[in-house]
C-alpha cells in the first residue's frame, strides 16, 4: 500500500506562513510543497518543493502558465489530498485536485476578516473542507470555523 500523498500549496508571503503553521498536521505523510518563491525552500528540510510562476487575476497569461505548471505537478505527484491557504495557486490546485480525485481543503487567509477572499469564494463547491479563520464568517451555507493558524 502506498503512503498518503499530500500536496500543500500556497502563494508566497502570509499564505505560505499560514500553510507552514499547519504542517504539523501532516507529519508522517508524504508531502510535496508548491509555492511561487524559490527562496521558500529554506523553510523545509528535505521535503519535495516545487516552484511555480507568481500570477494574479490581472495577469491572464501568467495564470495560464501557473495552471499548466500545476497540472504537470499533479501528473507526477498524484496527490491523495490537496491543502491550500490560497490565493491563485491554491484555487487552481483545488480545482485540479477534484479532477484527479483528491480530497481538498481550503483554509482562507486570516487577512480576510470581513469576507472570504475572491479565490475562497470561488472554490466553495470544489472544497471537501472549506474553512475560514474568522468565526463570524462561518455559518450555514458558509465556511466552517475550526480556529485560526496565526
**How confident is the model over 93-137, as pLDDT tens digits?**
999 999 999 999 998 876 666 666 656 667 788 999 988 777 776
Q: What is the CATH number of the domain that holds 89?
A: 3.40.50.2000
Report if residue 25 sits inside a domain: yes
Are 72 and 50 in contact by the 8 Å Cβ rule? The answer is no
Domain with 124, as residue range(s), is 5-145
Are 80 and 102 in contact by the 8 Å Cβ rule? The answer is yes
Report if residue 150 sits inside a domain: no
Q: CA 71, CA 143: separation in Å to the nearest integer?
A: 27
Report if residue 15 sits inside a domain: yes
* Count of structural domains, the chain: 1
The pTM score is 0.90
Report if residue 13 sits inside a domain: yes
Write out pLDDT tens, residues 28-40.
Answer: 899 999 999 999 9
Q: What is the dihedral of CA 22, 25, 31, 34, to 10 degrees?
A: -10
Radius of gyration of the chain (CA): 14
Report if residue 27 sits inside a domain: yes
Amino acid at each position: 500500500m502506498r503512503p498518503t500523498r499530500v500536496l500543500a500549496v500556497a502563494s508566497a508571503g502570509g499564505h505560505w506562513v499560514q500553510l507552514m503553521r499547519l504542517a504539523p498536521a501532516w507529519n508522517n505523510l508524504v508531502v510535496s510543497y508548491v509555492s511561487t518563491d524559490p527562496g521558500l525552500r529554506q523553510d523545509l528540510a528535505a521535503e519535495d518543493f516545487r516552484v511555480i510562476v507568481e500570477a494574479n487575476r490581472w495577469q491572464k497569461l501568467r495564470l495560464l502558465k501557473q495552471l499548466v505548471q500545476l497540472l504537470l505537478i499533479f501528473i507526477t505527484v498524484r496527490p491523495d489530498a490537496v491543502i491550500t491557504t490560497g490565493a491563485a495557486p491554491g484555487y487552481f490546485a483545488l480545482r485540479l485536485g477534484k479532477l484527479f480525485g483528491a480530497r481538498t481543503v481550503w483554509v482562507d487567509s486570516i487577512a480576510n476578516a470581513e469576507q472570504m477572499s475572491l479565490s475562497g469564494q470561488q472554490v466553495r463547491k470544489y472544497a471537501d473542507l472549506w474553512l475560514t479563520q474568522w468565526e463570524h464568517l462561518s455559518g450555514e451555507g458558509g465556511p466552517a470555523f475550526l480556529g485560526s493558524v496565526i
